[in-house]
Amino acid sequence: DLFLATQWLHVDQKQTARALGLPLDKVRFTMSGVGGAFGGREDLSMQIHCCMLALHTGKPVKMVYNRLESFYGHVHRHPAKMYYEHGATKDG
């Protein structure tokens, strides 16, 4: 299950399922948070990364971009080098 704000819920679901090699019925997307985006929510951003982490850990994953990260991480931005760090406790 992935809760996200997008302009193309079913397209995102299909693209994510295809990228992960999963049947469509195993990828459930739920719309959360609506509002104007002026085309900024038409493309995949963190969907596949979140699903990959959840599949790998078997645990819920929450990813939130702050304002600065949204400028770096959004697909409609200029190329950039990014370094990621992730971690988990023993309990997940």
Q: Give the DSSP per-residue string, 10-59.
A: HHHHHHHHHHHT--GGG--EEE------TTTTSS-SSHHHHHHHHHHHSS
Amino acid at 90: K
Determine the topology of domain 2-73 in CATH: Aldehyde Oxidoreductase; domain 4 (3.30.365)
The reply to whether the predicted model has a pTM over 0.75 is no
Confidence bin at 15 (pLDDT 50/70/90):
very high
Q: Is 77 exposed, middle or buried (0-12, 13-18, 19+ CB in 10 A)?
A: exposed
pLDDT in tens, 18-69: 999 999 999 988 888 766 555 566 677 788 888 999 999 999 888 887 878 8
Assess whether pLDDT exceeds 80 at residue 70.
Answer: no
**End-to-end alpha carbon distance in the chain:** 17
User: Quick one: pLDDT at residue 23?
Assistant: 96
User: Quick one: pLDDT at residue 34?
Assistant: 66
CB 73 within 8 A of CB 49: no
CB atoms within 10 A of CB 7: 16
